[in-house]
């Protein structure tokens, strides 16, 4: 076992799509085999932008948990919990806020970008400004050293390191600085060739039925077809079909279609049928486990209860240090 401690979370904004699977979950599945891992449903983080719509939060958290478990995240191998079950994260957030300069938060590039995108009214709450401090608390609570995230999260991890450094400096402590583990995965796009995202309605969800997945693939955007001698596309919807085939299909089928594309003879309809079939057969086991979990609310509760206990114990030992260093004895 390596001495790294991995911590990561996902905001429960809806069921997981294939982009989430290949972008994040797949890395988590590998990490749980290698080292101590804490994976949590970041429901407080979801509230920083979704506080006006609390109705879906509980349901979304449950969907995310089922997706994780069906994909193979294993409570015997890693600690799985819900952020809001562990009040120590909130306490640490509060304490870290004491030493975090306001200017660091205001210059945070993801904060600025979100204000542009979501509007100033929607993002003028203190909780949203403080998002990276909460994220830092999430990681530091478990003395996390490695944080698998998408590259958009890099500024938050940088700020986390600065906050920990400031803490260590102010209080003569040696809490670990976290490092981002940025994933290098094939860029899977949505059905229209744009980033796969719930708000673009271009997603294939893990929880889609085989029929729905097939319908979605069959309706994916293409083009009028290549000329003979064409080079394989590097981006756009057709490139994305090749990525899907690469992720789910076998190599022979992939090179066959690449050949046909270069020869200007490809028929996207056939290619799509092969993609759908390969995808559905890869996800067969996932589908089975997901259906079982849907019927097992008791098991889901037990997993969260036991994850909560472990996460609270881990965070409590960090809080002992932090409280003591900050004079709270
Ligand atoms: N902000 C992360 C995201 O949107 C989710 C998250 C919350 C997280 N807390 C975290 C990720 C702690 C890593 C570590 O992807």
DSSP string of 108-174, one letter each residue:
-HHHHHHHHHH-TTTT-SHHHHTHHHHHHHHHHHTT--EEEE-GGGHHHHHHHHHHHHHHHHHHT--
Taking the centre of ligand 1 as the mean of its atom positions, its distance from the CA of residue 16, in whole angstroms, is: 15
Instruction: Give the C-alpha separation, 51 to 223, whole Å.
Output: 41
Quick one: pLDDT at residue 184?
75
Helix, strand, coil percentages in the chain from 3-state DSSP, rounded to 5? 60, 10, 30
Probe target for ligand 1 pocket from 19, 135, 183, with the most ligand atoms within 8 Å of CB = 135
In this structure, CATH architecture of domain 207-282: Orthogonal Bundle (1.10)
Q: Hey, is 324 helix, strand or coil?
A: helix
Ligand 1 atom nearest the C-alpha of 42 is: 7
Distance from residue 269's CA to the centre of ligand 1 (Å): 38
Ligand 1 center to 163 CA (angstroms): 16
pLDDT for the residue numbered 1:
55
For residue 85, the 8-state DSSP code is G
Cα 127 to middle of ligand 1, angstroms: 14
Residue of 13, 19, 156 to test ligand 1 pocket, by largest number of atoms within 8 Å of CB: 156
Q: Where in the chain is the domain with CATH 3.40.50.620?
A: 5-187+297-325
Q: What is the pLDDT of residue 198?
A: 84
Collapsing DSSP states into helix, strand and coil, what is residue 295?
coil
- Ligand 1 atom at minimal distance to the Cα of residue 148: 13
Pocket of ligand 1 (CB under 6 A): 7-11, 42, 45, 135, 138-139, 147, 149, 153
- pTM (2 d.p.): 0.95
Domain 5-187+297-325 in CATH: superfamily? HUPs (3.40.50.620)
CA of 39 to the centre of ligand 1 (A): 10
| Confidence at residue 233, expressed as pLDDT on a 0 to 100 scale | 94
Per the CB < 8 A criterion, the answer to whether 31 and 215 are in contact is no
| Per-residue model confidence as pLDDT tens for the chain (329 residues) | 568 999 999 999 999 999 999 989 999 999 999 999 999 999 999 999 999 999 999 999 999 999 999 999 999 999 999 999 999 999 999 999 999 999 999 999 999 998 898 888 889 999 999 999 999 999 999 999 999 998 889 999 999 999 999 999 999 999 999 999 997 766 788 998 888 888 888 999 999 999 999 999 999 999 999 999 999 999 899 999 999 999 998 899 999 999 999 999 999 999 999 999 999 999 999 999 999 999 999 999 999 999 999 999 999 999 999 999 999 98
Distance (Å) from CA 156 to ligand 1 centroid: 9
User: Which ligand 1 atom lies nearest to the CA of residue 10?
Assistant: 5
Ligand 1 atom closest to the Cα of residue 83 is 9
Start-end ranges of CATH 1.10.240.10 in the chain? 207-282
pLDDT at position 109 is 93
CA distance 141 to 30: 23
């Amino acid at each position: 076992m390596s001495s790294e401690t991995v911590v990561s979370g996902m905001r429960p904004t809806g069921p997981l799509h294939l982009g989430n699977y290949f972008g994040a979950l797949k890395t988590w599945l590998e990490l749980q085999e290698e080292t101590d891992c804490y994976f949590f449903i970041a429901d407080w983080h979801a509230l920083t932008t979704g506080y006006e719509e609390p109705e879906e939060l509980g349901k979304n958290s449950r969907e995310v948990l089922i997706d994780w478990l069906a994909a193979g995240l294993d409570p015997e191998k890693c600690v799985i919990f819900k952020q809001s079950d562990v009040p120590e994260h909130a306490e640490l957030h509060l304490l870290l806020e004491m030493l975090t300069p306001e200017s660091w938060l205001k210059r945070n590039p993801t904060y600025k970008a979100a204000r542009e995108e979501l509007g100033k009214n929607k993002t003028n709450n203190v909780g949203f400004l403080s998002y990276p401090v909460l994220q830092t608390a999430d990681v530091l609570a478990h003395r996390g050293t490695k944080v698998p995230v998408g590259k958009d999260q890099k500024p938050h991890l940088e700020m986390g390191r600065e906050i920990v450094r400031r803490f260590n400096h102010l209080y003569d402590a040696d809490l670990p600085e976290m490092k981002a583990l940025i994933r290098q995965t094939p860029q899977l796009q949505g059905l229209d060739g744009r980033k796969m995202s719930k708000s673009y309605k271009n997603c294939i969800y893990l929880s889609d039925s085989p029929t729905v997945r097939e319908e979605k693939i069959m309706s994916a955007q293409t083009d009028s077809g290549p000329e003979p001698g064409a080079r394989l596309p590097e981006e756009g919807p057709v490139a994305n079909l090749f990525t899907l085939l690469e992720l789910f299909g076998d190599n022979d089928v992939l090179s066959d279609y690449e050949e046909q594309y270069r020869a200007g003879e490809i028929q996207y309809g056939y290619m799509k049928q092969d993609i759908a079939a390969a995808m559905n057969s890869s996800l067969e086991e996932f589908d089975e486990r997901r259906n079982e979990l849907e019927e097992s609310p008791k098991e889901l509760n037990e997993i969260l209860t036991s994850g909560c206990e472990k996460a609270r114990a881990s965070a409590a030992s960090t809080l002992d240090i932090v409280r003591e260093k900050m004079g709270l004895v």
